[in-house]
Chains A and B, each alone.
Chain A
Amino acid sequence: MQNSPDPALPLLEVRGISKSFGAVRALQEVDFTLRAGEIHALLGENGAGKSTLIKVVTGVFPRDAGIVRIGGEEVAPRSAKAALAAGIATVYQEVNLLPNLSVAQNLFLDRQPMRFGIVREGEMRRRAKALLAEFGLDIDVAAPLGSYSVAVQHVTAIARAVDLSARVLILDEPTASLDRHEVEILFGIMRQLARRGIGIAFVSHFLDQVYEISDRITVLRNGRLVGERETASLPRLELIRLMLGRELAETTSARASVGEHKVREVCASFENYGKAGYVAPFNLELRHGEVVGLAGLLGSGRTETARLVFGAERADGGKARVEGAPVRLQSPRDGVRHGFGYCPEERKTDGIVAELTVRENIVLALQAKRGLHRPLSRREQDEIARRYVKMLDIRPPDAERPVGLLSGGNQQKVLLARWLATSPRLLVLDEPTRGIDVGAHAEIIRLIRELCDDGLSLLVISSELDEIVTYSDRVVVLRDRAHVEELAGEAVDVGNILAAIAADGAGVAHEGRA
């Protein structure tokens, strides 16, 4: 391998890359520079364009504009295979290897050592063993890859990529499914590869890990490059501001006059509730007529908390109570039975049924709650649909229109209506304003406040800190899949939330994963 470990010379140069999907501009003139021998973190919130950038650089998606250079030479790979040939290897979170083949076959597939047209099995195993030994792995290479842990599979994938003379290694969330010890091993390997002059681009949601391993950081937001810094000279708070798109001056946002603190009845409470490897055990109290916001970066455990609360995921420890009585939340059905509602983040895939009409979508949850043997009559359905179309101002006010034809904001309202029709006591909203235009945005927020004034208990997840500050009575801050702080009353402001997210959590990271 002729790697030039000269740090001044960029190994991978990405200049002015743009990519659109239909009308959506996923990347706009993004630059990215990777030097030989550095570990470079690529950060950004959901929809920032990290995955798109990786896929465009590796030729999985064709690009609209821009150039990619490796070692000064322009390349335009058309497939992952061509990218590999050009020296760019990518290891995704879901390992792209063949679990049914042996470890050795996986390492040498299509390039096995041959003699007289026959694979030299012994030689191949010997080489595989030697290769993995470089990565500190001593395993039986004749066993099927699928019989090993995800960590071993990751290392095997990296070993294969490096052995294919990759000069640029892209790791897409390599640590998401690894435990602390495995992460240490992986980091050791990354440092070793970097010393050999390989440039490593690394995507992760765990900021502690980013600070632990990376030399430089590039931040994307909404498909644009917002900054490229040396890790050592970028304070966490600054990084989070870059990621969330906040300027210092803005942090004092107008907080709506949230109702004064009268003691409210507890609607649902969770004690030491959690699931190993999912969310660390947390305590959470939700009161009637109160909005609790969940803030944190992508992957911090917000959605995971919501799913546990609703029963979409089973907790493996802790107690849940509804109106003081202990309950078991094993499935979404249990959640619905106890009067919970959940509007998921992925509206299009997990929420609305696009082909059905507004009316059919609205009565869906109510019908499910009543059971199939007590169908709602058409008259009742019409009545319910009419009431909510009017109440939530769903436009156009036509209950017989397929929901797929409505705008994002109105789809969100239909989802809200669906749960409101079941007269819930607790509603969980995951990113209720994502992908909604500004006008509808304000309206959804107004609705959230109104619902709360009617005595409903709300748990709302949002990446928009301004928004969360506007309507929340309390805000729970999450980091690295654990609840790290709860802000109430006057303390609820953007600055405090940012500080809590940015706090150095080296000690807290991965607790509850053991």
Chain B
Amino acid sequence: MRGLPPALITAIVLVAGFAACAVQFPNIASTRVVGNLLTDNAFLGIVAAGMTFVIISGGIDLSVGSVIGFTTVFVALAIERWGMPPLVAFVAVLALSAAFGAAMGAVIHVFDLPPFIVTLAGMFLARGASFLLSTESIPITAPIYSTVSDFALRLPGGGRLTAIAIIMLAIVTGGALLLHLTRFGANVYALGGSRTTASLMGVAVGKMTVKIYMLSSLLAGIAGIVFSFYTSAGYSLSAVGVELDTIAAVVIGGTLLTGGQGSVIGTFLGVLIQGLIQTYINFDGTLSSWWTKIATGILLFAFIALQQGLVALARRPLAKSAGAAT
């Protein structure tokens, strides 16, 4: 299948890394640690699934971290101050974030602007809006929050698969199916190959662009709700810089930053690798948590170099025959 070979490499790195960690700290190889890893990275996995679509289509979405932050503040205020029922608050915030993403997609297509600039503006807008709502951290005490936090599937070995981890797994699975099995998914790859050619071949490029950014923002909204479950609070400074962690996870997962290739499964593995590094550092106890960033940086470099190598290999036969052209 398309995009699998790089994702396979990510899988190998993950398994090897996990094995190495397990040799040093045998406790890591337990369902408890794995369950926590999934819970801790649930919001990242959700938002990264959306980012995968954006990057494969040849774009980028820098606004997702801010959308998460806005969502947590909005949900907290809506439930605690405005007295909205939690589910209504969720629906409202998801509608808002989807509309926000759709607007960014429309601006990118209609004015033919680089997604980098448009979503950068979106990033400032969403972050600014969340500060406007509230600058302080608002604890959420609604009963649904404790219910959801307490819910978990017991795993053999004492681990817990929490509700938010289940939501993340469901979204990753759904995202993978959407990308690989539907016409929408094929069009995402087509856009990443070449927008002009895709449009010549009959793909409705404008509609697709709007839908892709809408999907990304919608998933960022869901990630924000999950994040608020995770922290039981809404804070305008939450998830600062998450867009970069997300992009890192997508790239480590084997998705080409220039678009056209990649997979949601790879992204999921990329998220797990970042989580594994974090877990290792927690187990070690003496390392600064910033080593996570350093390790992520090194991995990013390695994967980008690897991709360039693969791309060069893939282009070789083409370049040869094209050389005879002129």
Contact = CB atoms under 8 A, between A and B. Distances in A.
Contacts of B261: 100
Interface string A76-119: 00001100100000000100111111100110011110100111
A119 B182 contact: yes
Interface in A172-193: 176-177, 179
Interface stretch (B148-156, B191-199, B242-250): B191-199
B20 to A, nearest CB: 34
B183 A177 contact: no
A150 B326 CA distance: 13
A84 B192 CA distance: 23
Contact of B183 (A93, A96, A112): A112
A129 to B, nearest CB: 18
Interface in B6-45: none
A101 B199 CA distance: 15
B103 to A, nearest CB: 25
A114 B184 CA distance: 12
A146 B315 contact: yes
Contact of A98 (B181, B197, B317, B324): B197
A109 B186 contact: yes
A97 B189 CA distance: 12
A149 interface: yes
Contact of A112 (B186, B193, B317): B186
A481 B193 CA distance: 33
Nearest to A179: B324
Interface in B275-326: 314-315, 317-318, 321-326
A177 B182 contact: no
A105 B261 CA distance: 14
A99 B201 contact: no
B260 interface: yes
Contacts of B192: 100
B200 A102 contact: no
Contacts of B325: 93, 150, 176-177, 277
A119 B326 CA distance: 39
Contacts of B189: 98, 100-101, 105
A110 B202 contact: yes
B181 A146 contact: no
A121 B180 CA distance: 10
A399 B146 CA distance: 81
B260 A118 contact: no
Contacts of A150: 318, 321-322, 325
A98 B314 contact: no
Interface string A103-142: 0011001111010011101000000000000000000000
Interface string A481-500: 00000000000000000000
Given A96-B200, A150-B322, A177-B325, A101 B181 contact: no
B109 to A, nearest CB: 16
Contact of B322 (A102, A121, A177, A278): A177
A193 to B, nearest CB: 20
A102 B2 contact: yes
B317 A278 contact: no
B202 A278 contact: no
Nearest to A120: B181
Query: How big is chain B's contact interface, by range?
Result: 20 to 34
B203 interface: yes
Interface string A151-180: 100000000100000000000000011010
B318 A109 contact: no
B187 interface: yes
B138 interface: no
Given A118-B181, A118-B182, A81 B199 contact: yes
B200 A99 contact: no
Which of A93, A146, A160, A513 has most chain B Cβ within 10 Å? A146
B57 to A, nearest CB: 12
B187 A110 contact: yes
A177 B324 contact: yes
Nearest to B194: A98
B190 interface: yes
Given A84-B202, A102-B2, A177-B321, A119 B186 contact: yes
B164 to A, nearest CB: 28
Contacts of A114: 183
B183 A97 contact: no
Contacts of A106: 201
B2 A109 contact: no
A100 B324 CA distance: 22
Contact of B321 (A119, A149, A276): A149
B200 A80 contact: yes
Nearest to A146: B318
Interface in B150-195: 181-183, 185-187, 189-190, 192-194
Contact of B324 (A147, A148, A513): A513
A264 to B, nearest CB: 34
A144 interface: yes
B270 to A, nearest CB: 20
A84 B202 CA distance: 9
B2 A144 contact: yes
B1 to A, nearest CB: 8
Contacts of A146: 314-315, 318
Contact of B203 (A109, A147, A160, A277): A109
Nearest to B201: A109
Given A100-B192, A100-B193, A100-B261, A119 B181 contact: yes
Contacts of B201: 96-98, 106, 109-110, 160
Contacts of A97: 197, 201
A278 B321 CA distance: 12
Contacts of A176: 325
Given A109-B190, A119-B181, A99 B202 contact: no
Contacts of B190: 98, 101, 105, 109
A472 B129 CA distance: 75
A149 B326 CA distance: 15
Contacts of A84: 202
B105 to A, nearest CB: 19
Nearest to B193: A98
Contacts of A177: 321-322, 324-325
Interface of A: 80-81, 84, 93, 96-102, 105-106, 109-112, 114, 117-119, 121, 144, 146-151, 160, 176-177, 179, 276-278, 513
7 contacts: A81-B199, A81-B202, A101-B189, A105-B186, A117-B182, A144-B314, A150-B318
Given A98-B189, A98-B193, 13 more contacts: A98-B197, A100-B189, A100-B260, A101-B193, A118-B181, A119-B181, A119-B183, A147-B314, A148-B317, A149-B317, A150-B322, A177-B322, A177-B324
Interface of B: 2, 181-183, 185-187, 189-190, 192-194, 197-203, 260-261, 314-315, 317-318, 321-326
Q: Shortest 7 CB-CB distances between A and B: which pairs?
A: A277-B324, A98-B193, A177-B325, A100-B260, A100-B193, A110-B202, A149-B321
